[in-house]
């Protein structure tokens, strides 16, 4: 959990608010509610991706705290006609703005290396292949065969072996970047066109650019290097 970032500060504010509520309001919770809340807090602090667990796990606790300002449910005040109109409007909006297959394909091509993958399917690169962190998930989906990616969005899985740290050194063009590529015996790279690593590889005699588009670039190690 990056407490130096805005999201981390907001998360910390929720926790402080929860503790203050215990002192001032002294609400009572069921044991299951507290256990879920604590599991969500610990999981979110261990890895940011688990915030998606914290939200549903913490909802019952904050609902109890906020309930004293919310009037009790009164069935007699229900507006059935208005509720029906709202539900119909929401459904109509979902149908109206649901993206078409063409729109989805267009959005995917804006952020992921669709054209580069098409090139790689026609011209299989030598392996292993280094790839940008954000490309990993798409490559797992789009490419066939073993050794699909160097890294993907499940960063915590790569932290345990030190591969994530090495990836960052390569991506940030640390002095050991080229040496790490040799250590991992990387023979090809699929990365963002405008990142620093692309500039480094383009200037290196060890590498040759074999493909480029507006988004991505593919480098292959020269034979004998």
Mean pLDDT of 39-63: 91
Q: 52 is written with which tokens?
A: 């998606």
**Residues 116 and 215: beta-carbon distance below 8 Å:** yes
Mean pLDDT, all residues of the chain: 91
pLDDT of amino acid 145: 65
**Hey, which residues does 216 pair with through a beta bridge?**
192
Mean pLDDT of 161-175: 94
Mean pLDDT of 83-107: 93
Q: Please, what's the b/e burial string for 31-63 (b: 16 or more CB within 10 A of its CB; e: otherwise)? A: eebeebbeebbebbbeebebbebbeebbeebee
Q: Is residue 172 pLDDT above 80, yes or no?
A: yes
pLDDT of amino acid 203: 94
Categorize the per-residue pLDDT at 158 as very low, low, confident or very high, splitting at 50, 70 and 90. confident
Nearest CA among 178, 147, 145, 180 for reference residue 165: 180
Q: 196 is written with which tokens?
A: 């620093």
Q: Are strands 216-221 and 207-212 parallel, antiparallel or unpaired?
A: antiparallel
Q: Is the peptide bond before 219 cis (omega within 30 degrees of 0)?
A: no
* CA separation for the pair 102, 113 (Å, rounded): 16
Categorize the per-residue pLDDT at 176 as very low, low, confident or very high, splitting at 50, 70 and 90. very high
pLDDT of amino acid 146: 60
Nearest CA among 223, 213, 221 for reference residue 117: 213
pLDDT of amino acid 225: 61
Mean pLDDT of 14-39: 92
């Amino acid at each position: 959990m990056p407490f130096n970032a805005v999201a981390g500060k907001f998360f910390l504010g929720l926790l402080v608010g929860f503790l203050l509520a215990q002192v001032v309001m002294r609400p009572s919770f069921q044991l299951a509610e507290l256990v879920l809340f604590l599991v969500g807090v610990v999981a979110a602090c261990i890895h940011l991706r688990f915030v998606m667990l914290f939200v549903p796990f913490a909802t019952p606790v904050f609902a109890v705290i906020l309930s004293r300002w919310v009037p009790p449910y009164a069935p007699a005040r229900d507006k059935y006609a208005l509720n029906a109109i709202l539900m119909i409007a929401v459904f109509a909006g979902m149908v109206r703005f649901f993206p078409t297959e063409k729109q989805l394909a267009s959005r995917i091509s804006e952020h992921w290396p669709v054209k580069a993958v098409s090139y790689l399917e026609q011209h299989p690169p030598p392996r292993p292949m280094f790839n940008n962190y954000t490309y990993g998930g798409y490559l797992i989906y789009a490419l066939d065969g073993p050794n699909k990616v160097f890294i993907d969005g499940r960063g915590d899985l790569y932290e345990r072996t030190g591969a994530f740290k090495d990836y960052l050194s390569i991506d940030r063009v640390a002095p050991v970047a080229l040496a790490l590529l040799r250590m991992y015996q990387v023979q090809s790279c699929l990365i963002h066109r405008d990142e620093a690593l692309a500039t480094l590889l383009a200037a290196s005699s060890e590498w040759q650019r074999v493909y480029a588009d507006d988004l991505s670039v593919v480098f292959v190690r020269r034979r004998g290097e």
